[in-house]
Structure 1
Amino acid sequence: MPRYRLDIEYDGRAYAGWQRQAGLHTVQAAIEQAILKFSGDEIALRGAGRTDSGVHATAQVAHADLTRAWADDKVRDAVNAHLQVAGETVAILAARQVPDEFDARFSATGRHYIYRILNRRAPAALERGKIWWVPKRLDHEAMADAAKVLLGRHDFTTFRSTQCQANSPLRTLDRFEVTRRGDIIEIGASARSFLHNQVRSMVGSLKRVGEGGWSAGDLRLALEAKDRAACGQVAPPDGLYLTGVDY
């Protein structure tokens, strides 16, 4: 059975996350249905990351095993056609046949996220649901300095959901940086893998630093507490984007 890698973008507002769930509208199920209508194959799509409800992606990666070989462009265009007919806010950016050993999830060596904050008094009009509006002025330089506390390998229990199913809370955070362009603050995070809600939890705690409620030392104490109760506000899904997967 030929295996295809799919590079995918989606607006997550209409979906209960990536992962297929009975009775819920999910990105995985939408693509599987489009593939079924195109090829007649009932497949189980495997994605690189299980983004939560409302989270977006500019570069999700998944793989699918089909019963016959198709031209790469045919797979992309046919699946997109069925997604459009169904009114889905999902697009296949590229499709290409890959070796059977390729696994979208387990072959990944790095994952990259961007979290976007609109930091101004006026609310979002054009990007509502796709950015976190924070009207109080944030000190992005203090946030950038505090973000360095979380770099490296740590027990991230404080910054993971109580529903997280990972076997270990230990993760290595390779990049966690804060930049500002006008009213937009972007927080970039990179690691081999992340815990459930880890990025949104870290961002929410950084916001507390930006507001002046916490210092970098307070963020370190929260990390060292290894206690979910020590976490700051969990940022909403609106501003989170999966922007890349390394292989």
Structure 2
Amino acid sequence: MANQNDSFIDEVTEDLRRDRLFGLFRRYGWIAILVILGIVGGAAWREYARNQDEAKAQSWGDAILTAREAEDRVAALSAVDPQGSASRKLLSEMLAAGAEAEAGLTQQAAERLKAAAKGVEGDAVLHDLAMLKAVMAAGPAMDAAERDRVLAELSKPGAPFELLALEQKAVALIGAGRKEDAVMLIGQIQQKDGLSEPLRRRLSEMMITLGAEPDRAEGPGPQTMPAPGAN
């Protein structure tokens, strides 16, 4: 008899739990449904957005490849639609500037790069890359004061292209006939961390050309060197 009572009580308790569960689901089930729909919808949107971004990137890449084969590469590359991406626009302009430099239009290429850099001022890496390329494209034709100002900014400690900018300072010093200053600066660059092997080789080659020991290092830090364009 006791077992029958216990079984009956268990069945009643289970029915009450089931009724409460169904009641809670009827009252709050819509919240769970909304959460599920939100998760599924969010995942679907992310997948859609990713596919759209990939399609745009592929379309831009195909357009760039086509433009590089055009008869007028500069005009074709400049006309490629960046599809709203400032970084893609910069890359297109850098390629166009490269085509201009190959054609001997170095000053025009430098101006294009400086203009393109303004469009990505919020991105230190892309901005500094464009400005460094502008200095390299213009070479000695760039106004000395402007070149010194740009390189001083690009060679600040921690800047994305600090070492390459310092190399360009050394190149400017050599171009100005200031060989001793160039040797001192190159030696200081050689002592810095993070030198790539190609940069290390270029610095050694410059030292040999200047008649100095390839790994020579002396004098104060490069930030104390007078600007290449200084009198």
Per the TM superposition, whether the score is higher than 0.5 is no
Q: TM-score, normalised by structure 1?
A: 0.22
Bigger radius of gyration among the two: 2
Q: Name whichever structure is richer in strand by fraction.
A: 1
Q: Name whichever structure is richer in helix by fraction.
A: 2
